[in-house]
Amino acid sequence: MEHLINQRVKDIEISGIRKFFNMVSHIEDLISLTIGQPDFPTPEHVKQAGIQAIEENYTSYTHNAGMLELRKAACTFMEKKYGLHYQPDTEVIVTMGASEAIDIAFRTILTEGTEVILPGPIYPGYEPIIRMMGATPIHVDVTENNFRFTLEMIKPHITEKTRCIVLPYPSNPTGVSLSEDELREIADFCKNQDFFILADEIYSELTYEQPHRSIASYLKEKTIVINGLSKSHSMTGWRIGLLFAPETLTKHILKVHQYNVSCANSIAQKAAIEALTAGMNDALPMKMEYEKRREYVFDRLNAMGLSVVKPDGAFYFFVRIPKTVGLNSFDFALNLVKEEKVAVVPGSAFSEYGEGYFRLSFACSMETLEKGLNGVENYLKKLN
């Protein structure tokens, strides 16, 4: 019966990140520097809010857009943190993680034959949805621009088919963000253009060099902001995402969300209220620890003679594989597992422009990082 399956679904593949992780995760004593999973537990007060919600029987459907109390908390959070102003009753949707928010946004704005401009390398969660909508992803190679996706790089790729530009910052896999000047340039140019901006800001609370700034500060009327609690509050499994946009957009996106999942998990929503109010600054101690790890990893990679751009957000390094190694990124990563029992993600998982790199996550303990980097160093010495 496979001949009856939607061809667009057949043509897409499982995420290269998960594909590689699933290949090697069974190996005993594996040191994994792969998945973007914070190694901190969900804050205790947030967990208790979830427990209380179960005990008080908050186990029924909520409003399709999410509990109003949560939407109010989310809007207050965005205003206090980033100076963004959204109406809780009409301009925010609580989703099943940021992934669902991306999905319903694309399914609302994309049509057959349209184009979406994205930086490359990039997180693999966008392209399959774009292709399933009959649209075309247009990747822009940012590897020679220190991974910065600037207006100068975007403009040559804009056509009459352009429907959306994806701005994922801080970036997965590079950790690179955008400055206020860079964002303002893009916003000023796009004001008179007939397309949308999708700003994936899931790592907004994890920035090191400067506070996060959203392009919605300058171009709210055309911007869909994606955020959530997975990275900021170590709540990946709770699946709470947040989508912010003008009512002219959300009233249509909400229809897709309603027919997709009805509403986000009611227990997780109650915990999210606690996270966004009493836990407004829960990310700070995690960020301080990530920053220490970032410095350690940066120094170690430099000492190995590897070419790296220091990330100013998230918890990844995207490392160039020395050309003298003579291996593609998949074989490099697979052999690293075989030789040293250390797992990183091959750069090819992040579009064709990730080939020649590997992604290393520092969302793990210093002890794990030290062991993992020792393995990388030993492996490189063998190759040389």
The answer to whether residue 375 scores a pLDDT higher than 90 is yes
Q: Mind listing the pLDDT tens digit for each residue in 200-238?
A: 999 999 999 999 999 999 999 999 999 999 999 999 999
- Binning pLDDT at 50, 70 and 90, where does residue 340 land? very high
Residue 119's identity, in one-letter code, is P
How many CA atoms does the CB half-sphere of 90 hold within 13 Å?
Answer: 7
Residue 14 confidence (pLDDT): 80
In the chain, % of residues over pLDDT 90: 92
Q: Mind listing the pLDDT tens digit for each residue in 150-206?
A: 999 999 999 999 999 999 999 999 999 999 999 999 999 999 999 999 999 999 999
- Cβ neighbour number for residue 235 with a 10 Å cutoff: 26
Residue 337 confidence (pLDDT): 95
Place of tokens 């709470």: 240
- Cβ neighbour number for residue 184 with a 10 Å cutoff: 17
Q: Which domains does the chain have, with CATH numbers?
A: 2-42+282-383 (3.90.1150.10), 44-276 (3.40.640.10)
DSSP conformational letter for 17: H
Are 357 and 320 within 8 A, CB to CB?
yes
Are 183 and 215 within 8 A, CB to CB?
yes
CA 338 to chain centre: 29
Residue 134's identity, in one-letter code, is G
Q: Mind listing the pLDDT tens digit for each residue in 182-197?
A: 999 999 999 999 999 9
Spatial distance between the Cα atoms of 13 and 354, rounded to a whole number of angstroms: 17
Tell me the pLDDT of the chain averaged across its residues: 96
Q: Tabulate helix, strand, coil % of the chain (nearest 5).
A: 45, 15, 40
Q: Mind listing the pLDDT tens digit for each residue in 11-36?
A: 888 887 777 778 787 888 899 999 88
Spatial distance between the Cα atoms of 148 and 226, rounded to a whole number of angstroms: 19
Stated as kind and residue range, the H or E segment containing 166 is strand 162-168
- Binning pLDDT at 50, 70 and 90, where does residue 328 land? very high
Spatial distance between the Cα atoms of 173 and 318, rounded to a whole number of angstroms: 6
Are 49 and 229 within 8 A, CB to CB?
no
Spatial distance between the Cα atoms of 305 and 60, rounded to a whole number of angstroms: 56
Between CA 278 and CA 232, with CA 315 as vertex, the angle to 5 degrees is 15
Which of 14 and 120 is assigned the larger pLDDT?
120
Q: Mind listing the pLDDT tens digit for each residue in 40-57?
A: 999 999 999 999 999 999
The answer to whether residue 348 scores a pLDDT higher than 80 is yes
